Structure 1
């Protein structure tokens, strides 16, 4: 059976979980708002070197990075709440509805 999975909430509203599937690193400004709002450990902030390589982020070595970006480190931990997308000022996230 294929279809979208939805839940009827106690107030009667229908909710469909939507899982994070991509993040536009070109638009990301590395602000960390999404990281702070995600309680599931899905996201990870990384540095971007001069040649565009993603490298582990360390506050002590900020001079090594051209910029910081968020990455989807553990997509399997996403619970479909879309809090990351709701708080992102640059609208970097794309989600897909839960499927049966």
Structure 2
């Protein structure tokens, strides 16, 4: 199995990990991922919590094809709501 790889400025191999999913149960809608993403991957959305019968704002993956695999969103997420995966080629 081969993955898409690149090089860092220093010449080291680097394998980007692209966003695979965002868990709405873990997301608290803080917007950190939205602010750190320079590629317009995320958008806010209302989430209906069936247990508490309430609505809250969360982030959703709106444009996953814009992801460059930097994982900045996952690093900033205090709730670890993201999952990532390298791209198989």
**TM-score higher than 0.5 here?**
yes
Instruction: Count how many residue pairs are aligned between Structure 1 and Structure 2.
Output: 87
Q: Alignment partner of 1:46: what SS?
A: strand
Does residue 39 in structure 1 map to residue 38 in structure 2? yes
Q: In 2, Cα distance between the equivalents of 1:92 and 1:3?
A: 26
More strand by share: 2
Please list the CA deviations of residues 52-88 of structure 1 after superposition, one character each: whole Å capped at 9, or x if unmatched.
9xxxxxxxxxxxx621111001111111111100100
The match for 1:92 is 81
Please list the CA deviations of residues 10-55 of structure 1 after superposition, one character each: whole Å capped at 9, or x if unmatched.
3132211111010000000000000000111110111124659xxx
Structure 1 unaligned segments of length 5 or more: list them. Answer: 53-64
More helix by share: 1
What is the RMSD of the two structures over their aligned residues, measured on CA atoms?
1.8
Q: In 2, Cα distance between the equivalents of 1:11 and 1:3?
A: 22
The match for 1:61 is none
Q: Tell me, yes or no, if the aligned pair for 2:33 and 2:73 is still in contact at 8 Å.
A: yes
Equivalent of 1:70 in 43, 46, 59: 59
User: TM-score if structure 1 supplies the norm length?
Assistant: 0.77
User: TM-score if structure 2 supplies the norm length?
Assistant: 0.86
Deviating beyond 3 angstroms after TM superposition, the runs of 4 or more aligned structure 1 residues are 49-52
